[in-house]
Structure 1
């Protein structure tokens, strides 16, 4: 099975978020795909198969479970399709029939994702303690993603967070992850964020595109602008541009291929 490793949301090797992209010649069962994702160990492994023309099925697996949507693995998959075909546009269809429209834009790749609403929520004190957060500015919940959003005042505090992941995992149940965000203190960025998801994947996702399904709208409303520059202040760091278009969010990013080989099934 042809397999690629791709660093997403970066133009530098060993930065951004690594994803595996697998191109099985025939359909694989869910158990096999999960075993492959667990073996590779990246926060996400994508499996893509050509349906017809520039339309592909896509499925995403963390080392623990299948994920409905993933931004960086979609970007990685797009990078591979554009590299190996003459297409300028792609349509990915995930397992619950959400269509993801992709196109080239210069050296970058533009992805169109759905927009999801957030609602008021409560955050357990145990979660705040595990994250190392003393004060919060706002808290929301994305039911579609099962992710808690916590806004704090300082981007420096965000970058310095050192969560206790065992305590974090035990602080809540029934969620996929918790996203912490703040207004950026960098001149070229609007907001910053980090994403922790020991419930469904790895401790921390280095650069997360899928959360823009709700995070872009959150900041677009708060900052009264539809075009935003985002910075993920994880150890590997990563950047992307986003744009809110009514019920869609466009995510613009770059990716670097670092490995090409065959997975022996």
Structure 2
């Protein structure tokens, strides 16, 4: 099975978020795809299969479970298809029949994702303690993603967080992850964020595009604007631009192919 490793949301190798992109020749069942994703060990492995011309099915698996929507693995898959075909645009269809429209834009890739609302929520004190957070600005919940959003005051504090992941996982049930965000202290960016998800994937996702389905709208409401430059302050770091247009969010990023090979099934 043709397989690629791609660093997403970066123009440098060994930065951004690594994703595996698999192009199976035959149908694979979910157990096999999960085994492959667990074997590779990246936060996400994408499996893409051509349906017609420039339309592909896409499924995402973390090392633990199938994930309906993933930004960086969509970007990685788009990078592979744009590099190996003559397509100028691509349509992916995920496991929930959500259409993801992708287009080239100069040396970057532009992805159209849906937008989801957030709602008020309570956050267990044990969860905040496990994150190392004592004071918060706001807390929200994305039901579609099963992700808690916590805004804190300082981007520097965000970068310095060193969660206790065992305690974090035990502090809550029924969620996929916790996103912590702060307004930027850098004039080149509007907001910073980090994403922790020991419940459904790895401890920390290096760069997360899928959370922009609710994070861009969150900051649009706070900052009264629709275009953003975002920085993910994980150890690998990552950058992307986003734009909110009605019920869609457009995510713009770069990616670098680092490995091409065959996975022996």
Task: Note whether the superposition's TM-score is higher than 0.5.
Answer: yes
Where structure 1 has 5 or more consecutive residues not aligned to the other structure, the ranges are none
Partner of 1:82: 82
Tell me how far apart the structure 2 counterparts of residues 71 and 101 of structure 1 sit (CA, whole Å): 12
User: Are 2:246 and 1:246 equivalent residues in the alignment?
Assistant: yes
Structure 1-normalised TM-score? 1.00
Aligned residues: 265
How do residues 1-265 of structure 1 correspond to structure 2 at under 5 angstroms? 1-265=1-265
Tell me how far apart the structure 1 counterparts of residues 180 and 96 of structure 2 sit (CA, whole Å): 27
Structure 2-normalised TM-score? 1.00
Tell me how far apart the structure 2 counterparts of residues 110 and 180 of structure 1 sit (CA, whole Å): 24
Tell me how far apart the structure 2 counterparts of residues 84 and 154 of structure 1 sit (CA, whole Å): 42
Tell me how far apart the structure 1 counterparts of residues 166 and 200 of structure 2 sit (CA, whole Å): 13
Tell me how far apart the structure 1 counterparts of residues 50 and 150 of structure 2 sit (CA, whole Å): 38
Superposed structure 1 runs of 4+ greater than 3 Å apart: none
Q: What SS does the aligned partner of 1:15 have?
A: coil
Tell me how far apart the structure 2 counterparts of residues 26 and 115 of structure 1 sit (CA, whole Å): 33
Tell me how far apart the structure 2 counterparts of residues 188 and 254 of structure 1 sit (CA, whole Å): 17
Tell me how far apart the structure 2 counterparts of residues 151 and 120 of structure 1 sit (CA, whole Å): 13
Tell me how far apart the structure 2 counterparts of residues 221 and 142 of structure 1 sit (CA, whole Å): 15
